Amino acid sequence: MIRDAKYKDIEFLVKLASLPEVWGGTEEELREDFEQLLDSEKDLVAVAEYSGEIVGFANIRLRSEYVAGTKSSPVAYLEGIAVSEEFRGKGIAKKLFEFCAAWAKEKGCTEFGSDCLLTNEASYAFHMAMGFKEIERTVHFAKTI
């Protein structure tokens, strides 16, 4: 079952978001992040539930700023999606994405944006399977001065 996340789900969400290929960060930071996301009108956190356990989640945000490759505003932006390893390959991420897309359409969005690290081949394949097209590749730099 796919549904909106609730405060009671935060510990499961933190566990999934802690996976290296998802968000990372400390449990305390992630807990605070999810509390803010659940209170935000611009965000949706959707969860996939199986036998009372959260096995996946997706977070989308309504972005009004420029999103590469889009022409409209707001744009639904896939901020993160994760499925527990033992439940991967069962179409759960696709169902989460479809739930999020329906929410975005209700909010007036006509476009969806997203990103992933160049090294995250599974995420890249997921995006392509969901109908995204690659817009650009970037490398970020930082320097202490």
97-120 average pLDDT score: 95
Domains of the chain, each with CATH number or no CATH: 2-129 (3.40.630.30)
Give pLDDT, residue 37: 97
pLDDT per residue as tens digits for the range 21-59: 778 788 999 999 999 999 999 999 999 999 989 999 999
End-to-end CA distance of the chain: 50
- On the question of pLDDT at 118 being above 90, the answer is no
Alpha-carbon gap, residue 93 to 115, rounded angstroms? 15
Alpha-carbon gap, residue 87 to 50, rounded angstroms? 10
Largest CA distance in the chain: 52
How far does Cα 113 stand from its chain's mean position? 11
